[in-house]
Structure 1
């Protein structure tokens, strides 16, 4: 069993029973014995007490905050080697697919799909064309195309919003135009990018052509009219912005995964399926927009598909901050659980969340059914964890001098008072839950915090024979 008796305070035997204890640790023995945290397949594996797995599942999301190189992927892999529900996983180095795909396909009998443009996983890549979801006969396609444009065009944060907003509007209209006028083989983002990079004369003809496209109540025509009417310099700057932000599409790797579709995202909710989105670490900064595109369209598909799966579709969002701000994820953090989706963002520190979700970063924590914390070395995160754990009422005894007459009256010179003290200070959080300790804090609303071990799949007997070495 884990020995939390060495913790500085908040362990049950150390609490003065005369003081109402508002916070404290759940001892590992109690965690291991609790039916709320008893492991069974279908729950997410949170950790372990000895070799006893700790599991939990509710209809809320999960958040992991763990420092760099602290073993975040080990916990993800442990769950992929067990969770029988559908999964969409960002796979930064292809290791999730490399280690878990065979088990999920052969043992869990799932359909397993790997989108791996750069071949990092060792598995043959499939392909998915997000524009295949745009149906010219359905009005929702206007909003869906807007989400595609939103995923591709990102504000630069330097106050140049006019150009990015205008580029997004241009891309929105152009996506709809391609989806409604081009032959099926060209209805993809690759062709959209080709049109953007046309010479000036061809672009002028393209905008005239768009002005004559009256689909969706003039949504395309308005963009064509607007671009044709803009001064040449302004039009050129807008086009340049759109070209710059879609430059990652000019790549044989992207062509392999975007030209056509070998599956539909709705199928992930209808039957057990695992989708791995693989990108090497060196391509994350340049090709993260591709991940944004797939995730935006996946959330649309999960919301519209009314099939109710036995278990929620788990979105494993490793390296979550690399995605930047995503309005769809921001909304999903509070709403998508009702559509049988469970988000699992994984970040290194609180400042990453604050940077992209300035006014709503606490939504990710407040809407989570489980938060995990370990290997946190930065003060901002450690301070937040310290506040999250709360304060404990402790008894303080002060010694003082006693006069001779006081001694004669039986006085001992001691005074007692009650004070509030952090269950753990920020420094203690970084020390007791450092990467090397193998410990983590688990916080579940309605329960006192737990300190349990982190599961290491390649040493735990539960996972023997399940993973690829």
Structure 2
């Protein structure tokens, strides 16, 4: 509203108050004098009540004060009270107008949030992740929006954000816990209502997880294996476009992983590495085994998996130098899984990814890695997070509306009464559990391309991310300067930072306000007892709500909370050890290797597929120019191979299909050895 308009309505209100008070004094005096005829003719009569003009009271007071002094004294008080009220209103209006004049927005209208802003933004709700405290209340956010926190090391991010949230979040959670402190402090309380598991790839006593057991047999198997291979060939999250060797290694890993899943007893990444690096055979023999294994068929009608066959044949057509480069590149990506501890931890699964959203109880999964092994085990952690993110964003469980539920109930009733066909069935809607990704120091995991893009839509699947980084530089180092991490985090928390670029980014996000500054000029002789003239002018200037320097100098107990669409909040940090609500929930940590019932079940079992003689014969090539064909040489090698491969002790004998002769593998190895000695192509590789 304009300044002139405010003044006009202020004057009207003051005059109206004076008029009403004077009219009340006039009518009260006339009533006290029993509507005497000597008071004169009224202006109008309404319901037998004479109504006089407001200023008639002053004439009566002058003429009849001597006859009824008490009446006119009280009438004067009534009229005077109106004048006092008018003065109060005038002064109050002037003060408010002065304040309104200062609320200009020429350069910006940024301001700090007030109580009504906190309620409007939903920060005062009794549920959600903890952000801080303000005005004696917790600041919590329970919406689907993701949260980003900038907190340098030892600034209180764990005691103020992570621990309070984990001690109150009632749903499933996945925690990136580098030092294991969060497990020690929060797993005791969370184990009371959820499956609480600690996955530590450096400890054989931890919970186990086999990434290959998340591959679904059937139409999705190639897609799942390709996603695994994409992460394996980018262990540090630093690659841009894949180079030639990395591209070939990716293709090789897809084929080998599929072969191991179908044909090998141990269906693990450690077995993938040992299968490729078997010291008892050459790489071409390994490719021949893949090409001659009955993956999909029966003993009568053998069939090689098409992706495995294409991969093996493509590489067998390459030169020796090319094969050597591809093999060495692939083995470099699998070197982590040669560690016997990691091989054991990834040998089976104590939980499944689906347990996060559809288990009988919530799942609290802590990914714990000692700082000394953080860089070495990064590929495995990246693989797990990538699998979780992709799997939980494949299917959207949309709850039907109230109308749809009513229709479903009506159809069920009609079907039960026999009024609908028997094949008509209506299933009950299923619900997914919410999952919180509590990722402390998440830039240390490297660039996760899928995770960066998934932030834009994963909230629709009931997934909420709470990301914590030390500075903007740390994020840009992992994701580059043009990343979308901050763009998809609508709630941001900032502590006092040591990085100037981060401080400037936060200062710009807080916004700019407009201030009025008074400029005073004095005129007159400086030795005069008073100045003859004084001039005051006001000028509007722009000022940031907090400058970058002020952001870096925030007190140790304060923080900034920015919610999209609301003014920023200057809040106080939480300290869980100073709050009884949290200290009461600190309990002893549980056993971290307890498996979830049914987690070991998968689509692959322990079935073993081996080399089939029909596939070997179909892949034979023509005899060479010396007259000694590969078939004769192979027969000679088979005659020498009389001892079968002994079964492993302590494990049940695996079922083998499509292998009428158990010594075929030895025959192929013997043929390969003979090939190296004679230079004759015995394995059908065309070499």
Shared fold (TM-score, shorter chain, > 0.5): yes
Q: 1:133 is matched with which residue: 182, 200, 214?
A: 214
CA distance in 1, matches of 2:143, 2:103: 35
1:291: Cα distance to partner? 0.8
Task: Describe the SS at the equivalent of 1:345.
Answer: strand
- TM-superposition CA deviations, 1:29-57 (whole Å, max 9, x none): 5567668222413x111111365311112
CA distance in 1, matches of 2:221, 2:242: 28
1:377: Cα distance to partner? 0.7
Matches within 5 A, 1:205-224: 205-211=285-291, 218-224=306-312
Q: 2:496 is matched with which residue: 344, 350, 375?
A: 375
Task: Describe the SS at the equivalent of 2:367.
Answer: strand
User: Is 1:23 matched with 2:115?
Assistant: no
User: Is 1:292 matched with 2:382?
Assistant: yes
Q: 1:451 is matched with which residue: 551, 567, 570?
A: 570
CA distance in 2, matches of 1:318, 1:229: 47
CA distance in 2, matches of 1:14, 1:201: 87
2:152 alignment counterpart: 67
Structure 1 residues 129, 34: CA separation in 2 closer, same or farther (over 3 Å shift)?
same
8 Å contact from structure 1 (residues 59, 369) kept in 2: no
2:252 alignment counterpart: 170
1:279 alignment counterpart: 369
User: Is 1:83 matched with 2:169?
Assistant: yes
Q: 1:241 is matched with which residue: 316, 324, 329?
A: 329
8 Å contact from structure 2 (residues 117, 567) kept in 1: no
1:463 alignment counterpart: 582
1:68: Cα distance to partner? 1.9
Task: Describe the SS at the equivalent of 2:375.
Answer: helix
User: Is 1:93 matched with 2:179?
Assistant: yes
Structure 1 residues 15, 187: CA separation in 2 closer, same or farther (over 3 Å shift)?
farther
8 Å contact from structure 1 (residues 291, 323) kept in 2: yes
User: Is 1:111 matched with 2:195?
Assistant: yes
CA distance in 1, matches of 2:203, 2:477: 31
- TM-align CA RMSD: 3.1
8 Å contact from structure 2 (residues 524, 532) kept in 1: no
Task: Describe the SS at the equivalent of 2:289.
Answer: helix
Structure 1 residues 15, 61: CA separation in 2 closer, same or farther (over 3 Å shift)?
farther
1:401: Cα distance to partner? 6.8
CA distance in 2, matches of 1:383, 1:273: 39
1:461: Cα distance to partner? 1.7
Q: Which has the higher contact order (CA 8 A, sep 6+)?
A: 1
8 Å contact from structure 1 (residues 396, 419) kept in 2: yes
Structure 1 residues 461, 168: CA separation in 2 closer, same or farther (over 3 Å shift)?
same
8 Å contact from structure 2 (residues 146, 466) kept in 1: yes
1:199: Cα distance to partner? 4.0
1:358: Cα distance to partner? 2.5
**Structure 1, gaps ≥5 residues long:** 1-12
CA distance in 1, matches of 2:240, 2:436: 35
Structure 1 residues 161, 274: CA separation in 2 closer, same or farther (over 3 Å shift)?
same
CA distance in 2, matches of 1:119, 1:454: 35
Count matched residues. Answer: 441
CA distance in 2, matches of 1:293, 1:111: 22
CA distance in 2, matches of 1:301, 1:72: 29
CA distance in 2, matches of 1:86, 1:243: 36
CA distance in 2, matches of 1:447, 1:165: 47
**Structure 2, gaps ≥5 residues long:** 1-97, 297-303, 398-429, 526-530, 589-687
CA distance in 2, matches of 1:14, 1:379: 35
Structure 1 residues 342, 360: CA separation in 2 closer, same or farther (over 3 Å shift)?
farther
1:261 alignment counterpart: 349
1:4 alignment counterpart: none
Matches within 5 A, 1:36-435: 36-41=122-127, 43-49=128-134, 52-74=137-159, 75-106=161-192, 109-119=193-203, 124-138=205-219, 140-154=220-234, 161-183=243-265, 186-199=266-279, 201-211=281-291, 218-271=306-359, 272-304=362-394, 309=431, 312-358=434-480, 360-361=482-483, 363-399=484-520, 412-432=534-554
Task: Describe the SS at the equivalent of 1:285.
Answer: coil
1:236: Cα distance to partner? 2.1
Task: Describe the SS at the equivalent of 1:36.
Answer: coil
- TM-superposition CA deviations, 1:249-283 (whole Å, max 9, x none): 12232123210112211011013111111111111
Structure 1 residues 44, 228: CA separation in 2 closer, same or farther (over 3 Å shift)?
same
